A and B are shown apart, each in its own frame.
Chain A
């Protein structure tokens, strides 16, 4: 027992970890300072300007969104396909999702000109027809799902930790409910995770497609208005997420001495996925480039020239090389080892960030088909503020992951060493069953609800694009009718309330018995 327990209990807080923590906090603090400056002085402190209205904040947003694909999606797939080798990395993947979604939301907030209005008005006046409206719904929904998923999968470990006592046992106690590791409970937990996994996958796909559509629907910007955008972003997200999962798992394996748990074999399997995704991404890149260049629409070809031969060509060729190298190297079975995989993931990840910039900035720089008289040559150079907020958000992600691994086991201990039978310590507030069923029912119902709502608003609602554009174009001005019904936050509220009600409902049922 003591030996296994040592796996559960996170490594002690040593000087080196304190130094690392302080370092991360310092970086985040600097970024926070930069944000305060930006809030005080306005977006003038950034390098943004008129043709380049979006810059690296938007690139970061898209990047962090794509990192979030790693987590709950990959871990749900691992669970549903019962991939044994994937189990040790699933915890890392889940926490990465939660952290990166938080950072994505923050980066959007860095980008808006009126922060307080954004926080206040999107909930109250949000329009579902706007890409930001969709994105808010899906992002919060995905965050909720990922938190729920992480929460459930942490319960058995929290129970063991709460038995061990310590200063934080109140936290673990809160999270364990009445978990004692009975067979029935394990069965319930696994089923709940499976159902959540099934629901998560469409949500994740929706999330990344919608992010792609932010760009895909912009007919004004050459090369953006592309039906490929949704799938393109999904593959990009899979690739980005996977490489960050590989890198983070490698770091965790090194720092927490988990060589025997996160085995080389896991990395070999991951490297196969990596090669598949990067080949798929190259395929999409090729499909995009060749159609644009063959069709040679004047504006599109201008952007394409700019990317491949113009000012941004070094970045593009670097990005291409960083995708080709892993695809070639990892195709050779002999190279599919732990070390090579980690190096290749390290090559892919920065290239994917660069690719995000390459999607956003060149199109915008060439967007103005109408040049302006006074303005200088369209250009975009990020400033120190933007750089420090970018670095800060990466540090923030690292901080979330780091603090989490200091509080909970970095691998799902209960899945690897088996579930421990425990004595119940405190009578819990909610029974496990009610919590599980609450989550599952709440989230499933609200997904259905959201789906019906979105589809019906788009297809039938008087404000819908379809109605306005196709049936009665002159009705476009009545965009203010039933705002509350279309409000993303209201929908989220409904989701949360539904989940809560379901918890209470099941609690009643099970206590009644």
Chain B
């Protein structure tokens, strides 16, 4: 069984907010006017939390935790939010009645309500992502772990259109789930190993054997993280990077005492 999860290495995070911007662009998140923002109505599926401490500041990139026991799912009166078999807590924008029970129930404050109909500046209109639905006013939305990208990977594996390295592994897998799980891991490792090398290379000829589009199967924030602090994958796959990192001594999860079993794991060296 796939269990998608994310590891966020706080020791590597540079607080550059690339993930925040990449998420907004990928998921058609409305930008909102300044006035609305100052009223606490901005939407940021991936947000960078700043905590002021005595000796400086602490930063925390915060997507939805995709809890294994999500309190938001339990309270929804119409099942507009639900947990998928692969562990992603998804949102049905066409079902949601906008009661905001889930917003109140989520301990991590990751759910956002569309107070107005979404709006973008004129120049943005052509750059909206056609795969991701645009949410009307009056519904709740939140991070989906870029579920459309994972689904596209599934589709491409089935159509045998996925990158060759991925296809080679996928062919050996016994089920689609296993294939996707392996594929994501291959891509993730590739990003971790090669991503830096390629982007930092001075010589553009080095980029040649590297197809950046391949990596677009990974969640947008992971793909764009400059410090390689975000790592995505199948927590149940013992071979995967996330699985190994989630066993690390530095691993911790937010508000574990609430029993929500979050699937986003933070890594932080103890002081």
Point out residues on A near B: beta carbons under 8 Å. Answer: 41-44, 48-54, 111-114, 117-118, 121-122, 125-127, 129-133, 136, 217-221, 364, 367-376, 378-379, 465, 469, 473-474, 476-477, 479-480, 483
Contact = CB atoms under 8 A, between A and B. Distances in A.
Interface stretch (B33-41, B166-174, B189-197, B214-222): B33-41
Nearest to A378: B40
Given A220-B106, A221-B104, A122 B37 contact: no
Given A220-B258, A379-B40, A54 B104 contact: yes
B207 interface: no
Contacts of A220: 71, 104-107, 258
B83 A476 contact: yes
B137 to A, nearest CB: 4
Contacts of B105: 218, 220
B112 A50 contact: yes
A114 B71 contact: no
Contacts of A52: 40
A131 B75 contact: yes
Contacts of B138: 42-43, 112-114
A328 B216 CA distance: 70
A370 B108 contact: yes
The contact size tier of chain B is: 35 or more
A371 B50 contact: yes
Contacts of B85: 477
B98 A131 contact: no
B129 interface: no
Interface string B84-122: 110000000001111111011111110011111100000
A374 B42 contact: yes
B77 A133 contact: yes
A376 B49 contact: no
B40 A122 contact: no
B79 interface: yes
6 contacts: A42-B138, A43-B138, A221-B104, A368-B109, A373-B49, A477-B85
Contact of A374 (B1, B44, B78): B44
Contacts of A480: 79, 82
B132 interface: no
Contacts of A371: 49-51
Contacts of A112: 97-99, 138
Contacts of B50: 371, 373
B73 interface: yes
8 nearest interchain CB pairs?
A113-B98, A113-B138, A42-B137, A220-B107, A49-B40, A132-B77, A130-B77, A118-B97
Interface of B: 1, 36-42, 44, 47-51, 60, 62, 68-71, 73-79, 82-85, 95-101, 103-109, 112-117, 136-140, 254-255, 258, 261
A131 B71 CA distance: 12
A218 B106 CA distance: 9
Given A375-B42, A378-B40, A477-B85, A44 B104 contact: no
Contacts of A41: 116
Contacts of B109: 50-51, 367-370, 372
A114 B98 contact: yes
Main secondary structure of the interface of B (DSSP, over half): loop
Given A44-B115, A130-B76, A111 B39 contact: no
Contacts of B38: 376
Contact of B104 (A367, A375, A479): A367
B104 A43 contact: no
A370 B69 contact: no
Contacts of A130: 74-78, 101
B96 A114 contact: yes
Nearest to A117: B97
A42 B41 contact: no
Nearest to A381: B39
A445 B148 CA distance: 49
A292 B60 CA distance: 29
A43 B106 contact: no
B206 to A, nearest CB: 36
A42 B74 contact: no
Contacts of B40: 49-52, 372, 375-376, 378-379
A223 to B, nearest CB: 13
Contacts of B62: 370
Given A367-B104, A476-B83, A122 B78 contact: yes
Contacts of B78: 117, 121-122, 125-127, 130
A485 B247 CA distance: 43
B39 A49 contact: yes
Contacts of A42: 114-117, 137-138
Contacts of A373: 47-50
A331 to B, nearest CB: 39
**Which of B40, B69, B261 has the largest count of A CB atoms less than 10 A from its CB?**
B40
B39 A219 contact: no
A372 B47 contact: yes
Given A42-B137, A127-B79, A220-B107, A122 B100 contact: no
A50 B140 CA distance: 11
B39 to A, nearest CB: 5
Contacts of B1: 474
A372 B36 CA distance: 15
A479 B82 contact: yes
Contacts of B106: 220
